Amino acid sequence: MWDFRSVDAAYSIEFYVVQFMYPFVASQTLTISFGLDLSSILSY
């Protein structure tokens, strides 16, 4: 028999990790792409 509380806790933890990590990953990607754009602008 399933223990729905542990399943719900696992889903909420995974959801929390995704919600916590996504802005960090997105900001890192934006920073990297912005840095590449800035270096290409500065090289001209």
- What per-residue confidence (pLDDT) applies to 44? 56
Rounded CA gap, 42 and 39, in Å?
A: 5
CA atoms within 13 A on the CB side of 4: 0
How many structural domains is the chain composed of? Answer: 1
- What per-residue confidence (pLDDT) applies to 4? 61
pTM for this prediction = 0.36
Range of the domain at 27: 4-42
CA atoms within 13 A on the CB side of 42: 6
Q: Is the pLDDT of residue 37 over 70?
A: yes
- Burial code of 21-32, b = ≥16 C-beta within 10 A, e = fewer? eeeeeeeeeeee
Helix (H) or strand (E) holding 13: helix 4-43
